[in-house]
Structure 1
Amino acid sequence: MATFVHIDIPTEDLERSKKFYSELFDWTFEKPFPDMDYYIFTTKDLEGNEGIAGGMGNREEPGQGVTNFIGVPSLNEYIKKIKDAGGQASEPMPVPGWGYLSMCEDTEGNIFGIWEEDPDAK
């Protein structure tokens, strides 16, 4: 079943945002791409189990908000389903070594992403 797998938080000040979320929720951050100002964070649920992962990077445009990503077994299948249901979806975009994503919009104008994990993505 498709489920939320990643949250992407844009920020004006990475250090300030990392401090805010780590102090507030005990999230931990790591920088997987040395040449990119982007951090991966980990969360835990109320029982201390691993929670949804996320990423934090610089805001790319004014008004850009949090984007939730839903993991799906087949990006192409879900892009078709989204379009058939009246939504919009971008063509698949690779995240090399991690997977593929598509940015989508539902029938109400809400933005979300879908994600297919694939370590062979190029």
Structure 2
Amino acid sequence: MTSIVHFEIPADDIQRAKTFYSDLFGWRMESMPGMDYTMIDTFGAPGGGMMKRMHPEQQIINYIGVPSVDEYAAKAEKLGGKIIVPKMSVPGMGYFVVCLDTENNAFGIWEMDMKAKE
């Protein structure tokens, strides 16, 4: 069964966004050492992350857990979706792909794999 496992919030001003979400929901924020990425503890599942906005149109993305990003990326394309970020690894955690659905909404697919390498 697939479900949302992670979300990412892009921000123009990371500190301002961290303060907003912490004050609004009480979420805890933890910067990842050596990365420009902040993990968000929502006190439940799914958790999330925050990073610098990469382009003006970038919006919040939900990541759906799947058994194989390769399989689901191919399936998304077959159904009329598009791959906008090809398969990338997060070493020691897994792999992800970012897609557009048929309505131009971005979403991610995530494959957990603790053996993932760069």
Common fold, TM-score beyond 0.5?
yes
Match of 1:94 among 84, 89, 111: 89
Letter in 2 for 1:10: P
CA RMSD, Structure 1 to Structure 2 (Å):
1.2
Q: Secondary structure at the match of 1:107?
A: coil
Q: Which runs of 5+ in 1 are unaligned?
A: 45-49
Once the two structures are aligned, what percentage of the paired residues are identical?
48
- 1:37 corresponds in structure 2 to 36
- 1:47 corresponds in structure 2 to none
Q: Which runs of 5+ in 2 are unaligned?
A: none
Letter in 2 for 1:25: F
2:37 maps to 1:65: no
- Give the deviation of 1:91 after TM superposition: 3.0
Deviations 1:24-60 (A, max 9, x none): 001011122x22221000114xxxxx23110001111
TM-score (norm 2): 0.92
- 1:19 corresponds in structure 2 to 19
Q: CA distance change for structure 1 residues 60 and 91 in 2, over 3 Å: closer, same or farther? A: closer
Aligned residue pairs, count: 116
Letter in 2 for 1:4: I
**Structure 2: how far apart are the matches of 1:69 and 1:8?**
8
TM-score (norm 1): 0.89
2:117 maps to 1:118: no
